[in-house]
């Protein structure tokens, strides 16, 4: 790959992912000829309803649950809010929520607002993480109380890729009669998930993180879990989410889940190997660089690396000259000059937290692209450090 290439080297799949060609092909019929309303009584609409049912089963097969437990939403954020607010409305006498200090803004902001808008009537416990981004299970156990309505802990962190022990945490919550929700937006399609035998009550996912289009998500609601809808209106989604279904995107999500199941081994072998080679190459070729997050308990596609004494935004601008796409944190906080709340919670030094870059790969990345990034990054960092008054060779 030459230095003047026009090809985009896309390594920001935790922010969004390209729509798979197979997914687009599956969607096209429902954007053109098969445009009926899936709730209609006539055959033209019924055929569309059948496509939604097929997609529901495809999602359920990937998650290891039943189709009846799948509710389609607009995105992961809606699913997160729906789960947490449902728990608080189902158990109005319980006003305590447990989450972590490293959640995605979809959960973090909701919990912040809960405390503010209710005048502190709702209390939120935010679990700490250590320097590798791991939770203290003793702190979690001590936080569980009779007043806890729901625990919301992400399955895998969007910035560092760190995987959390949600199966064990859900068991502990269940033993206390507490609902458990996990934001699995980053985990679904990258690591195996089988909800059948787990004590997880709610799970959120987002289509555009696994090669489906933007604007479609899922809320898994375990059979038997008490539930209050967030969006009310029509009878769609078995009365759990009002509004006419986004059929084409739902069909695309179903196909994407089918493909994710087929490519799970590739995610955990070829993609992991590329991630490791990229990570090891950068850490060895760039002085004063460090990995953020646990070395092994991590998604196979994600590497978050800090380059001390440079600004992440400046690094990204220089990378952009070579059409290399990565991120300095969550896409939902893009534009903020503050260091990542995730890295701050991990205690990453200020001089390093500001210079963190997240690389997140997919099955569409190549070894040639990894070589290209490894070739360009050391010079980018070196040139920026020359302009830093704090850098010393």
Q: With CA atoms as reference, report the closest residue to 359 among 8, 7, 12, 9.
A: 12
CATH numbers and ranges of domains, the chain: 9-19+264-386 (3.90.1150.10), 21-262 (3.40.640.10)
pLDDT of residue 336: 56
CB 38 within 8 Å of CB 249: no
Q: Which residues are catalytic?
A: 332
Element (H, E) at 105: helix 105-117
* Token output for 285: 């070729």
pTM of structure: 0.94
How are the residues of the chain apportioned to helix, strand and coil, as percentages rounded to the nearest 5? 45, 15, 40
CB 242 within 8 Å of CB 236: yes
Distance CA 172, CA 141 (A): 7
* Token output for 104: 């995605």
Please, is 215 exposed, middle or buried when counting C-beta atoms within 10 Å of its C-beta (0-12, 13-18, 19+)?
A: middle
pLDDT of residue 43: 83
CB 350 within 8 Å of CB 343: no
pLDDT of residue 3: 47
Helix axes 272-285, 367-386, angle to 10 degrees: 30
Distance CA 339, CA 34 (A): 47
pLDDT of residue 131: 97
pLDDT of residue 389: 66
pLDDT of residue 268: 98
pLDDT of residue 2: 46
Please report, for residues 205, 223, 245, the alpha-carbon distance to residue 218 in angstroms, rounded to integers and kept in the order given: 5, 15, 12
Distance CA 124, CA 195 (A): 26
pLDDT mean values, one per 10 residues, the chain (393 residues)? 71 98 98 90 86 97 98 98 97 96 96 84 96 98 98 98 98 98 98 97 98 98 96 87 94 98 98 98 97 97 96 95 88 60 94 94 98 98 86 65
Cβ density class 296-305: b for 16+ within 10 Å, e for less:
eebbbbbbbb
Distance CA 272, CA 299 (A): 8
Q: With CA atoms as reference, report the closest residue to 104 among 77, 84, 85, 83.
A: 77
Distance CA 138, CA 127 (A): 10
Q: With CA atoms as reference, report the closest residue to 38 among 231, 207, 248, 244.
A: 244
Distance CA 377, CA 188 (A): 30
pLDDT of residue 391: 67
């Amino acid at each position: 790959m030459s230095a003047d290439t026009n090809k985009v080297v896309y390594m920001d799949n935790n922010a969004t992912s390209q729509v798979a060609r197979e997914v687009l092909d599956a969607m096209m019929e429902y954007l053109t000829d098969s445009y009926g309303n899936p709730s209609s009584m006539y055959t033209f609409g019924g055929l569309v309803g059948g496509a939604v049912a097929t997609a529901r089963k495809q999602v359920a097969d990937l998650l290891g649950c039943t189709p009846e437990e799948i509710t389609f939403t607009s995105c992961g954020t809606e699913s997160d809010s729906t789960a947490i607010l449902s728990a608080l409305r189902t158990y109005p006498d319980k006003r305590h929520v447990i989450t972590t200090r490293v959640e995605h803004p979809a959960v973090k902001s909701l919990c912040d607002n809960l405390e503010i808008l209710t005048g502190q009537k709702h209390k939120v416990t935010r679990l700490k993480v250590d320097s590798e981004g791991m939770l203290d299970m003793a702190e979690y156990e001590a936080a569980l109380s009779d007043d806890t309505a729901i625990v919301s802990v992400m399955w895998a962190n969007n910035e560092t890729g760190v995987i959390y022990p949600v199966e064990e945490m859900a068991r502990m919550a269940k033993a206390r009669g507490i609902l458990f929700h996990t934001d699995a937006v980053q985990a679904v399609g990258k690591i195996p998930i089988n909800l059948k035998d787990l004590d997880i009550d709610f799970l959120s996912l987002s289509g555009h993180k696994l090669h489906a289009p933007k604007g479609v998500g899922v809320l898994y609601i375990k059979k038997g879990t008490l539930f209050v809808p967030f969006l009310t209106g029509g009878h769609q989604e078995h009365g759990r989410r009002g509004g006419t279904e986004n059929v084409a995107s739902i069909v695309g999500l179903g196909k994407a889940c089918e493909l994710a199941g087929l490519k799970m081994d590739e995610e955990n072998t070829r993609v992991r190997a590329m991630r490791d080679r990229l990570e090891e190459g950068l850490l060895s070729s760039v002085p004063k660089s460090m990995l953020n997050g646990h070395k092994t308990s991590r998604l196979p596609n994600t590497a978050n690396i800090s380059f001390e004494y440079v600004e992440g935004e400046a690094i990204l601008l220089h990378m952009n000259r070579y059409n290399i796409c990565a991120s300095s944190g969550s896409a939902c906080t893009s534009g903020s000059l503050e260091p990542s709340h995730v890295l701050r919670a991990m205690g990453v030094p200020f001089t390093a937290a500001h210079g963190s870059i997240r690389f997140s790969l997919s099955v569409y990345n190549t070894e040639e692209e990894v070589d290209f990034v490894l070739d360009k990054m050391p010079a980018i960092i070196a040139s920026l450090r020359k302009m830093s008054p704090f850098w010393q060779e």
